[in-house]
A and B are shown apart, each in its own frame.
Chain A
Amino acid sequence: MEKVIIETASVPVFPRHVKFHFNKQRDQWVILAPERLLVPDPTSVEILRMCDGTTSVNGIVGKLVEKYNAPHDVILKDVRAMLQDLADKGFLTT
């Protein structure tokens, strides 16, 4: 497995062994991987739902800037840090 670096032009996507899944019974979004279960908070869910294999990090940040009327740099920093952390743990690729 190559190390994944999340750049602004990267198009993040869930690798095949990771399922980002809405569990109806629990009314909850979860990230499922072997022996792992992550429960993302609502902000993370919003970002992860945009990790569809076509939207770039830049694209994701753009939408969030528009929606929350927040500074681009701040959002970019947070989004990249969160996605990189997931990539380091093997939950996300590009």
Chain B
Amino acid sequence: MSMMTEVQEAPKAAAKPKVQAPLAVLAELSHRCPLQCPYCSNPVNLERSSNELDTVSWCRVMDEAAAMGVHQIHFSGGEPTVRKDLEDLTKHASDTGLYTNLITSAVLLTKERVNKLADARMNHIQISFQDSEELNADRIGGFKGGHKKKIEVAHWVREAGLPLTVNAVMHRQNLHHLEDVIDLAVELDAERLEVAQVQYYGWALKNRAAFMPTYEQLSWATEVVEKARVRLKGTLVIDYVVPDYYARRPKVCMGGWGRRFININPAGLVLPCHAAESIPSLKFDSVRDQSLQWIWENSEAFNKFRGTDWMPEPCRSCDRKEIDWGGCRCQAFALTGEENATDPACELSPRHEEIFGIAAHEAQEAPPPFVYRRIA
């Protein structure tokens, strides 16, 4: 008996569409957020609340997504709980059959609201933690009392019978607490822990020198995670995201550009990934003007790096081109100034040693002060 395939795409017998439907939608409901984490993955130019899509538009978009065969919707931001209509959006998504996931900082949630979200059939809640230690966590998030509140909310989530993921963003200023972070996830009775090393886009790139760990710190962290995975097998699932600055080959960013994910920003622009707006040459379409299906299949931004035709050498003749799909376009642009360039995370990039030498050097120096995330 053969078993299952993880994230295998659906074979379609008849009427094969040009492009296979995406698996999941990341709905960035708002860029507003009470926290100011200096590694935020949002763009440096944040959308104002007056530009946000309204409830009716989000509901229409979810109908369209479900009709395309999308499986999951992740409500994200900014902080998605700033939206008063989150319960209504959740209920609507559940009615269409989408798996609903809330990605939250949790600091705005009340017990009553957690119960309302459970009633609206939210399938899962993911709470971010900035550290296991209160003072450092509140310093990183720029929000006093945040850490305590998150722990309180995590308990309410479990009391409401909702499953919980602890998302811990790790870097040189909290990595030494990794073992405590794992213990915290166990104490909170989480089903899953995401140990996510900072990825360097947007605000995080501005703060790279403050966050970049040394190679030795990373190797230690990887060992800690591996040991915990063995110890906690069957009780806590640990996902581990490593920073690719020290990698030899690039990450499979978003499972390949325009292959699996759709990101919709608060204003309704449809992006191939949450950082795509950092590439100035890309033109995005809006759900205010076009259907999600039309955008997925026709939008210039999606087709520009879809597949392998756009690749330069050495990517074009690389035997891994359909494994990593050319790595990350946003990183290639941020570090080389050319969005078509080989991702410098790849050791075959001519810029690999130079750029990652800079990061390795930054990791050895004293960390500079944070540039906190704020709406300009």
Interface residues of A (CB under 8 A from B): 1-4, 15-17, 19, 21, 23, 25-28, 30-41, 43-44, 78-79, 82, 85, 87-90
B181 CB to closest chain A CB, in angstroms?
Answer: 17
* Known contacts A17-B123, A25-B67, A38-B5; A88/B101 CB under 8 A: no
At the interface, is chain B mostly helix, strand, loop or mixed? loop
27 intermolecular pairs with C-beta atoms under 8 Å apart = A1-B235, A3-B235, A4-B234, A16-B161, A17-B162, A23-B69, A25-B21, A25-B69, A26-B12, A26-B21, A27-B10, A32-B71, A32-B72, A35-B101, A35-B194, A35-B239, A36-B7, A37-B6, A37-B23, A37-B71, A38-B5, A38-B7, A39-B7, A44-B4, A78-B1, A79-B1, A82-B3
Are B235 and A89 touching (Cβ within 8 A)?
no
Per DSSP, chain A at the interface is mixed
Q: Which residues of B contact A28 (CB under 8 A)?
A: 10
Q: Which B positions have Cβ atoms within 8 angstroms of A?
A: 1-8, 10, 12, 21, 23-24, 66-69, 71-72, 97, 99, 101, 123-124, 126, 161-163, 165, 189-192, 194, 233-237, 239
Q: Which of A3, A36, A43 contacts B2 (CB 8 A)?
A: A43
> Inside 8 A of A2's CB, which chain B residues have their CB?
235
Give CA–CA (A34, B167) in the complex, Å: 12
The contact of A30 among B12, B71, B191, B236, by CB within 8 Å, is B71
Q: A3-B234, A17-B123, A90-B191 are in contact. Are A26 and B69 (CB under 8 A)?
A: yes
Contact B101 A34 (CB under 8 A): yes
- Which residues in A have their C-beta under 8 angstroms from that of B162? 16-17
User: In the complex, A28→B68 CA distance in Å?
Assistant: 13
Q: Closest Cβ of chain A: how far from B197's Cβ, in Å? A: 16
